[in-house]
Structure 1
Amino acid sequence: MRLSVLASGSTGNAIYIENDEHTFLVDAGFSAKKLEGLMNGIDRSLKQVDGIFVTHEHSDHIKGIGVVARKYGIPIYANEKTWQAMDGHVGTIPLEQRFQFDMETVKSFGSLDVQSFAVSHDAVDPMFYIFHENGRKAVVITDTGYVSDRMKGFIRGADAFVFESNHDVSMLQMGRYPWSIKRRILSDVGHVSNEDAAVAISEVVEQKETRIYLSHLSKDNNMKDLARMSVSQTLETCGIRTGEFIHLYDTDAEKPTELITV
């Protein structure tokens, strides 16, 4: 498998994953024009995409779904409640491009198995995805208020994680957001902080080469260096030193990460 975080942040999210047979996106939270530019940044095109897996109906994850589906004829996969929530926000998607992907099930695309799992976020039925091929495992989990033991069971032992590290708690508490928004972000259906992400990561990584992409950073309440430092320091207090077999990588709201082999 090969993976790139095309872009990730408060304003939009899209992750690219491919193998020798198929090419997929997880979410399409940007305009079609922006997505094509991001794909060009890794020498790929939306014309190659075989499907888009939708995590939930928030605009920073589905903004481009409708236009991309219609323009390129790409199949869209989402669970029933997410389809219902998206209707009216993505325009008409032809019936032959609408596929249901139920919670906690697996769909196979040749040698690539795609597994869905539930998270805790303030959407109607949010779920994320695990990609399996030839004993390798890549996990995407970018919007959840906390990481439950059940989630950890699904994602444990991955070779690559696209993991939410949304905010620094102090920055959020001292920042300009109204208290209602702060309370939502800090809740069990909000977003995971840098420190909470690190604690969860410490409980799911194994002693092997593992790439962790810190994603969905808040534009107002986090910074790349701060997220990386906070996660690294918290991991170290949990007995895990980064740089040995656990490697942390930044993601960006405007440009893709290098396309790497998982």
Structure 2
Amino acid sequence: MSLQFSVLASGSTGNAIYVENDQHSLLIDAGLSGKQLAGLFQQIGRDMNKLSGILVTHEHSDHIKGLGVIARKYKVPVYANEKTWNAMEGLIGQVHSDQKFIFQTNTVRSFGSLDVESFGVSHDAAEPMFYVFHYNGKKLALITDTGYVSDRMKGTIRDADAYVFESNHDVSMLRMGHYPWSIKRRILSDVGHVSNEDAALAMIDVIGDTTKRIYLAHLSLDNNMKDLARMSVEQTLASKGFIAGEQFELYDTDPKAPTPLVFV
């Protein structure tokens, strides 16, 4: 009776997460090409032909680039809320109506005994949402692509056994970087992305006694570095008595390489 997952790819160039239990296997977002995703599945020893469904978080290209191709090739059911489906119209090509399912925000959908809870986040998309997975007493929470983490979001993701948590940018790197001010302002806004420090401050409010793994996700290629993100998060957590490497482990994610498939 196991819940397992792998962060297949994470970053501004493409995002995809794989989650499975004994009966079902789900892909969360398909932000890479079909060929790239097939290669990532091979690396974790899984078969895309056995996918039970694809859950979409929002319509930005780094989350849906390969969605249409995968849906058509493997005849996989696709789940998204109504506004996201409307926003994806024309972006993913034709998906057969038999494969299109509505998964509204702030609801729970069950795949056998695997319960998936959706919740809204704050991002500049039609109706962005992320997911919490509940199975056999275990809880896996995914949260990226949000400008801030509200009390409502914290309540939904609190006390998870494992997190995939946005740690997008270092504020100083972003401010001093080459991006136009309009893009900097968007990233720093309430509908942009969470910084390293803000990610850690949110973690302080949600980490529970059962939390064992935290994956730092959606790192900016231009405005962050893995070592910097980890150091910043570790220091902020330590200032409140949360010690990475003792109470829980912090892990990197990568835009091109999957994390090992692990049990929650």
Please, what TM-score do these two structures have when normalized by structure 2? 0.98
| Contact 1:113–1:132, Cα closer than 8 Å, also in 2 | yes
Which deviates more, 225-234 or 204-213?
204-213
In the alignment, structure 2 segments of 5+ residues that lack a partner are none
In the alignment, structure 1 segments of 5+ residues that lack a partner are none
> Deviation digits for residues 103-154 of structure 1, max 9, x if unmatched?
1000011110000000000001000000000110001111100000000000
| Contact 2:197–2:233, Cα closer than 8 Å, also in 1 | yes
For 1:208-247, list aligned pairs within 5 A: 208-247=210-249
Residue 159 of structure 1 is matched in structure 2 by 161
What SS class does the counterpart of residue 203 from structure 1 fall into? helix
Residue 92 of structure 1 is matched in structure 2 by 94
Task: Count residues with an aligned counterpart.
Answer: 262
Deviation at 1:207, TM superposition (A): 2.1
Deviation at 1:208, TM superposition (A): 2.7
Q: Distance in 2 between matches of 1:195 and 1:135?
A: 30
| Contact 1:208–1:245, Cα closer than 8 Å, also in 2 | no
Residue 181 of structure 1 is matched in structure 2 by 183
Deviation at 1:209, TM superposition (A): 4.2
Percent identical residues: 67
| Contact 1:23–1:49, Cα closer than 8 Å, also in 2 | yes
Residue 146 of structure 1 is matched in structure 2 by 148
**Quick one: which amino acid aligns to residue 241 of structure 1?**
I
> Deviation digits for residues 202-227 of structure 1, max 9, x if unmatched?
10001234200000000000000100
CA RMSD of aligned residues (A): 0.6
**Quick one: which amino acid aligns to residue 113 of structure 2?**
S
Q: Distance in 2 between matches of 1:214 and 1:58?
A: 20
Q: Distance in 2 between matches of 1:221 and 1:45?
A: 34
Deviation at 1:55, TM superposition (A): 0.2
| Contact 2:160–2:210, Cα closer than 8 Å, also in 1 | no
Match among 20, 23, 26 for residue 21 of structure 1: 23
| Contact 2:116–2:131, Cα closer than 8 Å, also in 1 | yes
| Contact 2:159–2:211, Cα closer than 8 Å, also in 1 | no
Q: Distance in 2 between matches of 1:222 and 1:7?
A: 16
Q: Distance in 2 between matches of 1:131 and 1:50?
A: 15
Q: Distance in 2 between matches of 1:211 and 1:114?
A: 19
Residue 134 of structure 2 is matched in structure 1 by 132
